[in-house]
Structure 1
Amino acid sequence: MRLRGTRKSSNIEDRRRSGGRGGAIGGLGIGGVLFVLAIGYFTGIDVTPLLNGAPQSQPSQTRELTPQEAQAGDFVASVLATTEDVWSQVFPQQVGENYDAPTLVLFSHQTSSPCGGASGATGPFYCPADEKAYLDTAFFATLAQRLGAKGDFAAAYVIAHEVAHHVQNELGILGQVNEARQRSSQTAANALTVRLELQADCLSGVWATYVDGLLDPGDIEEALNAARQIGDDTLQRNAGRVPQPHTFTHGTSEQRARWFATGYESGNIASCDTFNTDRL
């Protein structure tokens, strides 16, 4: 992705120098994340099954950022700026409303939010209560080295996915899904969350359409590969488990890649209606 010379977003809250905020918490397993989903629709990518037992960096009171961390922060700010530019254009055109951009919180090791605490093992997430996305930039290394999703556009897709949850919040979809989940059984609630996540993948594809001029050859395949690598079925297999569809909360690898492609090919929010289709 060609970001040199592009602007950087100022909607960044960098907590990495203090090692995060809030008390220490352990890694959240699948059950833990689903519990948080049930009470706060805490939406993100759960990679804890792959990271259990992996060494975690310890937070410090104050520290200087490493060159790699500084570079990652610049990358996030540049990608976030592209989402602001795209959705500020798309919202008035397709929704008839102005777009209010989210803040993105960078943290290291652990942090807290109105939706609950999180560790780096939880993966990136969006909290609708404060309209902020949260990201431990160490996740980029996890994405490439442990999840098999290499490339800068794979990382950009992850950022765009969390911003897509904010788009859903702006559209009023997150609140509607949360209300429906509270009236549902766990299995039905999980199924609703899958539709929510696949819609976010599709909206990420819409964003990709509008940044096409910044893309290098192979970038879209990097995003599609990332979507496949973080499908529920693939994550569960890689964790040594037999995939259990009733526990899925993000969709299969095939579904995630297909819905991203749907958004990319259409460039239209209306094509991302995962709640009124029989084929997910």
Structure 2
Amino acid sequence: MLWQKGRRSDNVQDAGESGGGGPSFGGRGLGLGGIIILAILGLVFFKDPTALLGQGDPGTAQAPQTQQAPHQAASNDPQVDFVRAILGETEVTWREIFAASGQQYEEPVLRLFRRGVNTACGSASSAVGPFYCPGDHKIYLDLDFFQEMQTRFHESGDFARAYVIAHEVGHHVQNLIGVFRKVDEERRRGASLQGASGLSVRQELQADCFAGVWANQSQERKQWLQSGDIESAINAATAIGDDALQRQTRGSVVPDSFTHGSSAQRVSWFRRGLDTGDVGQCDTFSGSI
């Protein structure tokens, strides 16, 4: 992937290193309903959302924690430069899509951190991987996660890493267009969050489709994909399907506990966005998935 051709974003910040330790969530941080936030923080990848609850009572509000004010990330680090290039191109894509509907796109901030970070959704350690917090409209990423992609999933391609960022931006788009709110409303009416056809899976698959839309439109602008790039992203999507992860960690597959979708579903919806470049094709909430 010729990512150096990308427009650099000014919205990448460095939150530094927090000594806060493991994650802790209180009622104050879970504005859209605790279980939805946990599903998102459980991530695109392989983290068990329930593990984020720690030992605290999720219904008990906690005092906000202090942290150093973030500053713009140094651009002389190749990994940071990569993140800025990918985020910059997501900004171009979604600005154009929103403008076509007469709307203005609000660009998210991507905050780099090490070890742990405090957010409007609570505090989290790097163990949760990249995540989006709808409470502050920010994406959080510990760059060490890219090394984990290589060691655990044997996937280190640039486009696979770009897919990770684009997926989290997809959650930001969902937040802007009201998907988070609608999912929470459906949950409150009794709709199932988990399961092979649950709300969490549908929400994650839509973010995959949005990532594919971005890939399609950025490729039209930049012609920056190279041989093997698409396969790299598809391999990543395959490796992080709920069935693949459960088989790896448990030795068996339990569809009722799915939160992100099977490997086949994740690849299918990413490909749908990639092949069409049309957000109208990303309605994962109607019909079967």
Instruction: Give me the TM-score of the superposition, normalised by structure 1.
Output: 0.83
Pairs aligned (count): 251
Identity over aligned pairs, percent: 43
Equivalent residue letter for 2:46? V
Give yes or no for contact 2:45–2:241 (8 Å, CA) kept in 1: no
Match of 2:267 among 250, 254, 257: 257
Match of 1:152 among 134, 155, 158: 158
Deviations 1:65-107 (A, max 9, x none): xx9x9221111111000100111112222x3312111000111
- The 2-side partners of 1:120 and 1:27 are apart by 13
Where does the alignment leave 5 or more consecutive residues of structure 1 unmatched? 29-34, 53-60, 62-66
Equivalent residue letter for 1:207? W
- The 1-side partners of 2:111 and 2:233 are apart by 22
Equivalent residue letter for 1:210? Q
In the alignment, which residue of structure 2 is the partner of 1:206? 213
In the alignment, which residue of structure 1 is the partner of 2:130? 124
In the alignment, which residue of structure 2 is the partner of 1:64? none
Q: Helix, strand or coil for the counterpart of 2:4?
A: coil
In the alignment, which residue of structure 1 is the partner of 2:181? 175
In the alignment, which residue of structure 1 is the partner of 2:63? none
Equivalent residue letter for 1:6? G
Give yes or no for contact 1:86–1:207 (8 Å, CA) kept in 2: yes
Give yes or no for contact 2:6–2:86 (8 Å, CA) kept in 1: no
Match of 2:35 among 19, 34, 37: 37
- The 1-side partners of 2:107 and 2:225 are apart by 22
Match of 2:253 among 235, 239, 243: 243
Match of 2:112 among 100, 106, 113: 106
Q: Helix, strand or coil for the counterpart of 1:15?
A: strand
Give yes or no for contact 2:24–2:123 (8 Å, CA) kept in 1: no
Tell me how far 1:5 sits from its aligned partner: 4.5
In the alignment, which residue of structure 1 is the partner of 2:227? 217
In the alignment, which residue of structure 1 is the partner of 2:280? 270
Equivalent residue letter for 2:106? D
Where does the alignment leave 5 or more consecutive residues of structure 2 unmatched? 26-32, 52-67, 69-73
- The 2-side partners of 1:38 and 1:5 are apart by 36
Give yes or no for contact 1:102–1:131 (8 Å, CA) kept in 2: yes
- The 1-side partners of 2:203 and 2:104 are apart by 22
Deviations 1:202-224 (A, max 9, x none): 00000000121111111111111
Measured at CA, do residues 229 and 141 of structure 1 come closer, stay the same or move farther in structure 2, by a change above 3 Å? same
Instruction: Give me the TM-score of the superposition, normalised by structure 2.
Output: 0.80
Match of 2:193 among 170, 189, 195: 189
In the alignment, which residue of structure 2 is the partner of 1:8? 8
Q: Helix, strand or coil for the counterpart of 1:161?
A: helix
Tell me how far 1:26 sits from its aligned partner: 5.6
